[in-house]
Amino acid sequence: MTIVRLGYVAMSMELKNASPSKTMTFAQFEKIKDREAAIRKLERIAISNLQTTLRLLKHNEASDIHFYRLTSRLIPLANHEELLDWDYMKPLKEILHEVGDFAKKHKIRIDFHPDHFVLINSLKKSILKNSIKTLKLHYLLLKGMGIDPAHRCVMHVGGNYKETEKSLERFVDNWMLVPQPIQKMIMLENDDTSFTLEDTLYLCEKLGIPLVFDYHHHLAHHRHADWEDNWDRVIHTWDNSPLPIKMHISSPKNEKAFRHHSDYVDVDMFFRFLKEIKGSVPQIDCMIEAKKKDEALFHLMEEVKVRDDVEIIDGSSFILK
């Protein structure tokens, strides 16, 4: 028996005025002559983003959604080089507690996916340094929420630089520069152009990192190449994690733009994957990466409900028969 739980990314298509990613550019910051007043405005934006996040979690709880990806843009300009003296965590203490307490009370799995500029295997020391700084921000947010940071932050391997093996080994070398608490926070996913499932498995097995299998990325990279032979290896990367195995699910926009995400999830494509892994794990949490966010989740569940090979648990979960 395998329980499947669906989640979605950051934004709701149902809630109005519910962006948790409101921001301020540094150019806008500089236009405010009183620097302290400008910092207070940044803090108000960050608090507003977290209040919206709490609203989204309440929406998720009401909709039986137990898996949610937080936006990485909660605190604008948090690591800007001109604002390194700003203690951005201090004013957020209360609202971070509220967000974390609600997630824990209702057993909602939350995690992050930093932007593509976070590169552990970068050729440039400055980019590596900034990447670690960004990961530290995610770590501090989770700690501020009272959430165990272990395996709450998924990222790509990084740049290929047309040298796959050297790029993988540079990741290993640079990994030693990442503080251990932040190392434990990381999960890696295979991508659609640079690092295959097998490439990513090499790092995950070598460094003890859970692998988040992206089915769409794998198909974009290989189209018809087998992944099933490596599934047991993927499962074992989660052996020491406190969390259930996680994957990403999306569908191609069309055959020509195969790598681009569709608005919704192709239920037949999804179940081709699920039929192969049924019974191999007790639970799998599937993060939907579709343009229509929670609407795509609700749409997919409507299609799942009419199938005779599942048993529905609630609004976002079902058992594979």
Q: 142-189 pLDDT, tens per residue? A: 999 999 999 999 999 999 999 999 999 999 999 999 999 999 999 999
Per-residue pLDDT band at 223 (split at 50, 70, 90): low
Q: Is 203 helix (H, G, I), strand (E, B) or coil?
A: helix
Question: Can you give the pLDDT at residue 257?
Answer: 65
Stated pTM of the model: 0.95
Q: Is 230 helix (H, G, I), strand (E, B) or coil?
A: helix
Question: Can you give the pLDDT at residue 224?
Answer: 57
CA distance 227 to 267: 19
DSSP label at 228? Answer: G
Q: Is 37 helix (H, G, I), strand (E, B) or coil?
A: helix
Q: 56 with 66: CB under 8 angstroms?
A: no
Pairing between strand 283-288 and 310-312?
unpaired
Per-residue pLDDT band at 254 (split at 50, 70, 90): confident
For residue 248, the number of C-alpha atoms closer than 13 Å in the C-beta half-sphere is 30
In 3D space, the residue among 110, 78, 82 whose CA is nearest the CA of residue 91 turns out to be: 78
> How many angstroms from the chain centroid is the CA of residue 226?
25
* Ordered DSSP codes for 131-199: HHHHHHHHHHHHHHHT---TT-EEEE----TT-HHHHHHHHHHHHTTS-HHHHTTEEEE--SSS--HHH
In 3D space, the residue among 95, 97, 100 whose CA is nearest the CA of residue 111 turns out to be: 100
Name residues whose C-beta falls within 8 Å of residue 68's C-beta, 6 or more positions apart in sequence: 7, 8, 56, 57, 60, 108, 109, 110
Provide the Cα torsion 90, 36, 136, 128; round to 10°: -170
Mean pLDDT (whole number) for 256-273:
87
CA distance 286 to 300: 12
Q: Return the CATH number of 2-320, one of 3.20.20.70, 3.40.50.2300, 1.10.3720.10, 3.20.20.150.
A: 3.20.20.150
Asked if residue 259 has pLDDT above 70, the reply is no
pLDDT digits (tens, 9 = 90+) for 45-102: 999 999 999 999 999 999 999 999 999 999 999 999 999 999 999 999 999 999 999 9
Domain segments of the chain as ranges: 2-320
**CB neighbours (10 Å) of residue 156?**
22
Helix (H) or strand (E) holding 67: strand 67-69
Per the document, the length of the chain is 321
